[in-house]
Amino acid sequence: MEVRTKGIEHLVVLFEALGIGGRHKLSFPEAVDTLVPLKDEIPLRYEVVESSQVGGAMSKGGLTKVSCKGAEAGLEGPVPALSNLKMHLIGSGGEQLPGALHGKVLGPVPGTSARLYIRFTSISPESTASYDI
């Protein structure tokens, strides 16, 4: 695949390394991202981030399954696929916990339109300390 990137005048060729052939015949294990169902939904507040500008209306939602790389969530209101989100987890007392999770909505979870799959793009350590995510 060739891509044009900011700051480089010529096309850059990208490769995906799957292993080493020839006499070595080694391959990387397939990355598995297993979502773990949560006993209790983790409430959150989120906003859609558009072109690096934060400050939109906050909406409510909740995480129902999580992994190191992403989560399944029910969100208040429609959120289009490929939207960027800034999320704040809510503590047991209803208070917003410090830090934030950033993610991209990849689309609805297969078999349901009520839950979306979100791929984390950034997780601040303090945002997950209370929940051990």
* Strand (E) or helix (H) holding 8: none
State residue 116's pLDDT score: 97
Task: Kindly report the number of other CB atoms within 10 A of residue 51's CB atom.
Answer: 5
The CB-side HSE value for 128 (13 A sphere, CA atoms) comes to 15
* Residue 71 falls inside a structural domain: yes
State residue 132's pLDDT score: 63
CATH number of the CATH domain containing 84: 2.40.10.220
State residue 84's pLDDT score: 95
pLDDT tens, per residue, the chain with 133 residues = 788 888 888 888 888 788 888 898 888 888 788 999 999 999 999 999 986 666 678 999 999 999 999 999 999 989 999 999 999 999 989 999 999 999 999 999 998 878 999 999 999 988 877 776 5
* Residue 21 falls inside a structural domain: no
In whole angstroms, what is the distance from residue 89 CA to residue 42 CA?
7
Q: What share of the chain is helix, strand, coil (3-state, %, to 5)?
A: 5, 45, 50
Domain count, the chain: 1
Domain span at residue 77?
36-128
* Residue 6 falls inside a structural domain: no
Task: Kindly report the number of other CB atoms within 10 A of residue 66's CB atom.
Answer: 20
